[in-house]
Structure 1
Amino acid sequence: MKSTTRATLAAVLTGVAASVGAAATPAAAAPVVPVPVPLGGAERALGMELPRVAGELPVPVPGSPNGPRYVTGRLMPERTLPQLPVNAGLLGADVQAPLPQALGQEFEYLVVDAPASDLRTLTPGLSVDTPLTAPNPDHLGLPDPKLPQAAVLTPLLQTAPGLNLGLGD
């Protein structure tokens, strides 16, 4: 292959990689994806004002697992099946509903805003140990029997949801 052909191919591949990377960056940078609910056609068909509804979908981001931890005196690591952290969020909603003039002229809309809140989770894990100890030099290097051990590492769920409710014009 000629050097000019290689240079042209390298330039094309570099351009394609740059455009793919630029297209993927905004989606990966956003923790939530806005989801508008189009009700304009229904408003025109019914001849009345309908609520404005929009939502937010969180983008889950898996983390690196907490790997096995080796402990002296055990034949197997402490976390046999490691826990996997996943960071995401709860669904968000933004609703603005029209109110009849029952509360006076200054209150025209009921506004409910529930922003997408952060959610931190850890999947369940497993920790087991064999029914044998490490080799014992007092018994010619043979392991001693012991009771097997098994433990389930509990999952974790942490979040702080919020909600704003108000009247406005």
Structure 2
Amino acid sequence: MKPRTRGTLAAVVTGMAAAMGAASPAAAAGTVPVPVPLDGVEHSLNMEMPTIAAELPLPVPGAPDGPRYVEGRLLPDRALPQLPVSTGLPGANVRAPLPRLLGDRFDHVAVQAPAADVRALAPGLAVDAPLTAPNPDNFGLPDLKLPQAGVLAPMLRTVPGADIVMGPGL
């Protein structure tokens, strides 16, 4: 391989490693921070503006629970398995100044709602055929039975929370 080709390859690999390194903290955290820049408004109006930051969750699909084979049934227990999804509720951090009536200092009010984990399970389907397993008393032929169909209910689990704080300083 020529030295120029090696140098180009090294630069490409280094750039890809830097891009992967920059993306991995957000993926590892499960949320992406989103600051709202209000500095320009603060300087143009010459007044204290609130600080606003948000956290947007990254949905992560899980592996579906595979079909379960049950003795005496022709079809598996879950024909359409439920798909689990893990994500989070968006978080917010808002801090706004409140002018004091006496003095020139500012107090603040803050609302902090951290991103909360959400675990969801998509609906599934359980179906059984109108035939039984082969019956040796009936010369190996299956017997008839009523067909069965059921919907597996979806599930949603989360524990959201928020704090409202008032205090001195900005």
Q: TM-score range by the shorter chain?
A: 0.7 to 0.9
Count of aligned pairs between the two proteins? 163
- Are positions 1:16 and 2:13 aligned together? yes
Distance 2:106 2:150 in 1: 57
Give runs of aligned pairs for residues 8-157 of structure 1, distance below 5 A: 12=9, 16=13, 19=17, 21-102=20-101, 108-157=107-156
TM-score (norm: length of structure 1): 0.85
**Structure 1 Cα separation of the partners of residues 123 and 102 of structure 2:** 51
Q: Which stretches in structure 1 are left out of the alignment for 5+ residues?
A: none
1:76-124 Cα deviation digits (max 9, x unpaired): 0001101111111101000001112259988700010000011111111
Q: Hey, which bits of structure 1, 4+ residues long, moved more than 3 A?
A: 20-24, 102-107
Q: How does the TM-score come out when normalised to structure 2?
A: 0.84
**8 A contact 2:97–2:106 mirrored in 1:** no
Shift of 1:23: 4.5
CA distance in 1, matches of 2:108, 2:22: 38
- In 2, Cα distance between equivalents of 1:50 and 1:100: 11
- CA distance in 1 between counterparts of 2:163 and 2:81 reads 38
Identical amino acids, percent of aligned pairs: 59
Structure 2 CA distance, aligned partners of 1:123 and 1:164? 31
The answer to which structure has the higher strand fraction is 2
Q: In the TM superposition, what whole-angstrom CA distance separates every residue of 1:23-42 from its partner, at most 9, and x where no partner exists?
A: 44333212111000111122
RMSD of Structure 2 on Structure 1 (CA): 2.6
Counterpart code for 1:145: L
Corresponding letter in the other structure for 2:30: P
Structure 1 residues 122 and 104: CA distance shift in structure 2, 3 A: farther
CA distance in 2, matches of 1:120, 1:65: 13
- Counterpart code for 2:68: R
Greater Cα offset, 101-110 or 27-36: 101-110
